Every structure is written in structure tokens, then in C-alpha cells.
């Protein structure tokens, strides 16, 4: 705790020094960022939207994309994990796709989609692949003995999936959800580049980048970082609650 605190203090001292001796007139020091933070939080930005409003709108968009990413990633992952031949067939499509960054998808999504779907699509790009890959990994790690055991009790394929494969893959799936939510959240700036609306944390950053007011840009960056941290922590907490049966295996 003490170490963590001192590293934060050292970080701010460095920042202050760099701002002080930097030749650029646009690099703000921590104090002006704090001032900008308070202004945006209480008064709002040039269009009158407060920081909380920006954050809520961005969260809403990310959660929508996350929901779609989960609703597609888990079932497709289960299917591909269970059917290795199908997985082999689609691997040449999936593998290169997952290395294309969200920003590269912007022009296509403008051409293909409208309105809210553009946000959802760009965030989905970030969420889908981690969820998909971890779900497949979880399914593959299901113990053959447990499947045979269930068969000797007369389980059919549907029961094997719902009662053995899914619960046994759940720790990996949750890990995929956590990573996916993180990556999806990181896509928010890219997603909000294309939406015309003036709200959202990504929008806030872009707006003030154009105005060359870097202090507000940093306020947006820090807010994105802190909310990402909080989301990650929330899912970790949920995992800990759900997987008490696994606690000692991990230790």
C-alpha cells in the first residue's frame, strides 16, 4: 500500500517536471488537469454536457456492444469447441479477422451501418474475439471422465452440454468476458469517432483535441482508465463469488 502510494506520488512529480521543462505550450501540469476535471464534472464541456453524462453514455454504448458480443461469442464458442471440424473450417476466417484493429473497421462500418449500430459493431469487434476464444478453450478443457460419467447416467447430448460442458467452461468464459469488456471499453474512442453525437468520453477527447485543450483530453483519458479499472474489478469480484469451488485450485 505504501509502495503503491509512493509510486503514484513519484508519477505526479515526474509529470509536473515534464510539464515544467517541456518546450510545448500545450502540455498541461497535473494541477490544470485537476481544475479541468472539476470544471467538466460540475459545469460541463463547451456543449454543456458534464463528465458524468459523458461517462454514462459511453458506458451504455459499451454495455450494449458487450451484450451483443457475449450473446454471439458464447454460443458460437460453445459450438466451435464442441465441433472441431467446424472450428477447423472457420479458423482461416476467424484468425486473421481478430488481428484487424477496431479503428480499421471505421470506414466499413460507416458504409454498412447506421446510428447506434456503428457503436455496437465497433465495440463488438473488441468483445467478441476474447469471449469466443476463451469459450472454445473452456469447452476443450472439459474432462472426458465427467462426460462419460454423465453418459452412464443416461445423459443425452443436450444434458451433457448444459450440465457438464457449460458449467465446466464457465471459469474460462468469465475470464473471456472480463477481457472482452476491457477491450470493448478500450474501443470506445474509436466507436465514438464515427457517431455524430457530441456526447461520450471518446467524443469529449476528440472535441477537445480539436480545440487543443489537452487538459480536458487528459481528463477524458483518466476517466476511461479509471472506469475500465472499476469494470475489471467488478467482474473479478463476481468471479470470486461464483467460483468458490475453485479457490484452492488456483492458490
Partner 1 sequence: MKKAILLESVSKKYEVGSSSLEVIKDLTFDVNENEFVCIVGPSGCGKTTLLRIVSGLEPPSSGRVLVFDTPPDPRRQKFGVIFQEDSLLPWRTVLGNVKFGLELQGYKETEHEKIARTYIELVGLQGFENYYPHQISGGMKKRVAIARALAINPDLILMDEPFADLDAQTRSLMQRELLNVWSKLNKTVLFITHNVEEAVFLAQRVFVLTKRPSKVKQIINIDLPYPRARLSPPFISYRERILTAFHEELEGI
Helix, strand, coil % (nearest 5) of the chain? 80, 0, 20
Does residue 156 touch partner 1 according to CB under 8 A? yes
Interface characters, 160-179, with partner 1 (x: CB under 8 A): ---xx--xx-x---------
Does residue 245 touch partner 1 according to CB under 8 A? yes
Does residue 187 touch partner 1 according to CB under 8 A? no
Write down the least CB distance from residue 242 to partner 1, Å: 9
Does residue 87 touch partner 1 according to CB under 8 A? no
- List 42, 52, 148, 157, residue binding partner 1 (CB under 8 A): 148
Sign of the dihedral through C-alpha 101, 62, 227, 208: positive
**What's the grid cell of residue 14?**
515526474
Write down the least CB distance from residue 245 to partner 1, Å: 4
- List 5, 145, 196, 212, residue binding partner 1 (CB under 8 A): 145
**Residues 113 to 132 in contact with partner 1, rule: CB under 8 A:** none
Q: Quick one: 150 or 186, whose CB is closer to partner 1?
A: 150
Does residue 146 touch partner 1 according to CB under 8 A? yes
Q: What is the full DSSP assignment across 99-122?
A: TS-GGGGHHHHHHH--THHHHHHH
Does residue 240 touch partner 1 according to CB under 8 A? no
Residue 87: exposed, middle, or buried by beta-carbon count in 10 A (0-12, 13-18, 19+)?
middle
Write down the least CB distance from residue 70 to partner 1, Å: 20
Stretch that binds partner 1, among 29-37, 110-118, 190-198, 241-249 (CB under 8 A): 241-249
Per-residue HEC secondary structure of 161-225 comes to: HHHHHHHHHHHHHHHHHHHHHHHHHHCHHHHHHHCCCCCCHHHHHHHHHHCCCHHHHHHHHHHHH
**What is the C-alpha separation between 70 and 127, in angstroms, rounded?**
7
Residues in contact with partner 1 by CB under 8 A are: 145-146, 148-156, 159, 163-164, 167-168, 170, 243-246, 248-249
Amino acid at each position: 500500500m505504501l509502495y503503491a502510494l509512493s509510486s503514484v506520488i513519484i508519477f505526479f512529480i515526474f509529470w509536473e517536471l515534464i510539464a515544467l521543462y517541456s518546450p510545448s505550450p500545450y502540455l498541461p501540469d497535473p494541477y490544470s488537469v485537476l481544475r479541468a476535471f472539476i470544471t467538466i464534472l460540475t459545469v460541463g464541456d463547451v456543449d454543456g454536457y458534464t463528465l458524468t453524462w459523458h461517462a454514462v453514455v459511453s458506458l451504455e454504448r459499451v454495455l450494449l456492444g458487450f451484450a451483443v458480443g457475449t450473446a454471439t461469442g458464447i454460443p458460437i464458442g460453445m459450438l466451435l469447441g464442441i465441433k472441431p471440424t467446424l472450428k477447423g473450417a472457420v479458423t482461416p476466417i476467424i484468425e486473421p479477422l481478430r488481428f484487424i484493429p477496431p479503428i480499421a473497421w471505421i470506414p466499413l462500418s460507416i458504409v454498412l451501418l447506421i446510428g447506434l449500430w456503428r457503436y455496437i459493431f465497433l465495440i463488438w469487434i473488441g468483445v467478441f474475439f476474447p469471449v469466443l476464444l476463451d469459450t472454445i478453450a473452456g469447452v476443450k478443457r472439459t474432462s472426458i471422465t465427467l462426460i462419460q460419467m454423465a453418459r452412464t447416467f443416461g445423459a443425452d447430448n443436450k444434458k451433457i452440454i448444459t450440465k457438464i460442458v457449460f458449467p465446466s467452461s464457465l471459469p474460462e468464459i468469465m475470464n473471456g468476458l472480463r477481457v472482452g469488456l476491457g477491450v470493448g471499453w478500450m474501443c470506445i474512442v474509436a466507436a465514438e469517432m464515427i457517431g455524430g453525437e457530441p456526447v461520450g468520453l471518446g467524443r469529449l477527447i476528440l472535441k477537445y483535441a480539436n480545440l487543443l485543450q489537452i487538459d480536458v483530453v487528459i481528463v477524458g483519458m483518466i476517466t476511461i482508465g479509471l472506469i475500465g479499472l472499476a469494470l475489471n474489478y467488478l467482474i473479478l469480484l463476481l468471479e470470486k463469488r461464483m467460483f468458490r469451488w475453485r479457490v484452492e485450485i488456483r492458490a
